[in-house]
Structure 1
């Protein structure tokens, strides 16, 4: 009869074989399909996909015990600006472990953050290239802040300390400017960032009019910023019709969201300062315009007053000159009046003499003296014999007398 083993014995053989054949630590590239913490330990599910079909071709479990995880995690998050999450590609240093009761797993002794940074940079560059190819990468930069940018839509977590800091900074500005803010709550860390912010943007677009949008995330950790490096969110922000300010609150390389927004600042309070400074620049410009208008008006008034003063001094002199000329003309006219009257009287007397001579030629007595006679009927001159009727009495005047006759 063949020798048989208990399960424990067989598993011990497997463990010994693995420990003998794989005594070293190995660096392995993999994608995280799951990552969770429990009692200070980190449990991961590793996967490798076919590059063409994205079909899983290898799977394995991995564990990072608390004594290592407490050191690895902070360093990884500080370096990458993110925490480990599903879908992330990682480079792990592992060694094999087979436990008789719990089976096989890879034990993680280190994680290289530079590998993950390279993969993140590659994905981010792919998104950037896509946005540029679509022609939307710089659309936000072409927008201008309204002159009076005071109605602000805020996308943030309602409980985030950064949101309160932002509102307090606006309210307590040293110039007394008044701002109206409305919060559109959104998830700003972990899963759901992309969908939550896109939904908030849709509510802003479909709601009342705002001068700009501020996306702030102050108060949270610097890890897990992958939600701000997605194509869908970047496209929504790039195509938004009013300026968007991002104050996500991290010092690492810009996220894609920062790149496509109108203006990127580091913190929520910096976003508030930007809005205050913008309004202050508008106020300064208005004051400068007012001062220039006042100065220009004063200069114009001064010039007009000078002209008026000069004119007031000139008018009496001109008036005196005109009066002197007119008086001279009047005096000359008065001097000439008697002479003109004498000439006119002489001319009229001569004309009257001529008329008198002409009238003498029409004197009837002169005509009678020349041998002419005048026949009258009822006191009127008879010019046509047809005017007379038989029995009419006519009167003929001669130089020496009058002859009366009866028409037969």
Structure 2
């Protein structure tokens, strides 16, 4: 019975081959199809398991291995747990956010490759790039990709490429291996340096089933070095063919345009305009006449409006003139004098009529009228006598008649 952490596990259709490790050692294991069919969980890299088996020798490689007959989970290994914790941390900080992913340059001129100079990665990239896009310049930046010094080497190379600033794309990666072998690409310093890069980065670490933090932070992830080279470069032959097709379409479009213009030119040359050049200006002449007519009409209407406005102002000014007001005042005075004279004449006539009526009334009650009928009134010492009591025998009185007066003496008095 052995307890260890699963490493370098890839699910195969038949027998399973992977490794078990702890902090001190690592051993290869084999589990055949019949035995693996009885396993009731999905093994994963970093998972801690308890296995039962026997030790054998694989003669083809001269390597001892354990042939497993039973396997059950015990938990997650320390490396895998650290990977998950760091992944959660970087994800919360936004380092995996697609919004920060930079687009790749479609036609790169220089590509920097950060990997081991002795691995198969650089050979696959060179082969693929030469086949697809031989005009691009590949520059290898050798780096340590495994072991304790790998993280510092990768960070240094990334800083160097960005400091130079004359590259369009960076490819960083290595071949397959166990979780321990790929661990430098899970280091926090490497992930943060990839995120800080000003140049687009393609990450190709391990096999297609392997996923590192560098893959998640990079702008583009490639399953293999060949796929990374294909993502970084177009196919030159296809681009040339596309350019040639565009050139042919452009030439055809130019020919079609020239042909259409030539037809228009021929129609114009055969038209009446070119046989009689004055026809060119007929529309302009008509337009000038139309504008002239409009101008005259507008000018005439404007002049009439101005004249009417001036006449109106003149009339208003004349109405406000002192002479006009004087004439109008004189006319008003003459009218008032006529009305006054007529009113005075009417008033005199009414007064005369009233006077005549009053005279008639006064004359009707005048004592003279009575006296003309033979009456007279008596005065004594200038006072009218009203009663016989005022008289005495022998008194001198005056008799006032209608046509004069007479003196008399009272000789007798009788009372009624």
Give me the TM-score of the superposition, normalised by structure 1: 0.49
Larger Rg: 2
Greater length-normalized contact order (CA 8 Å, ≥ 6 residues apart): 1
Give me the TM-score of the superposition, normalised by structure 2: 0.48
